[in-house]
Structure 1
């Protein structure tokens, strides 16, 4: 696991918390920011997955 995979997973989780918090307090702005953070986190994790796959492919 590389740093992009870890950082992406953390951003995704933080985004979920922010989105749920926004729902609880009735803030659509926080919900939107949470969703955006999740998308960013998923993209960063996917980038890390590609890097990891490329590294593994180079070993074979």
Structure 2
């Protein structure tokens, strides 16, 4: 998770984006559809950052565990 995001925020961004995109498609509003795609991309980017941070935490833990043995 990034420092300025909260747990589940990436999923909320993706869901909000899907809803906006569907509403934009249904109403013919290209701007809303584009905003939805942007929100989804933002959610995916936050999720990738969260995953990377977790992975780095695991790497750090594994390195410190080796030093103790």
Alpha carbons of structure 1 residues 41 and 16: separation in structure 2 relative to 1, 3 Å: same
> Aligned runs of 1:1-60 on 2, under 5 Å?
7=1, 13-26=8-21, 27-60=36-69
RMSD between aligned residues: 2.0
- May I ask how many residue pairs the two structures share in their alignment? 53
Return 5+ residue gaps in structure 2 as ranges: 22-35
Return 5+ residue gaps in structure 1 as ranges: 1-6
Higher helix share: 1
Where relative contact order (Cα < 8 A, 6+ residues apart) is larger, the structure is 1
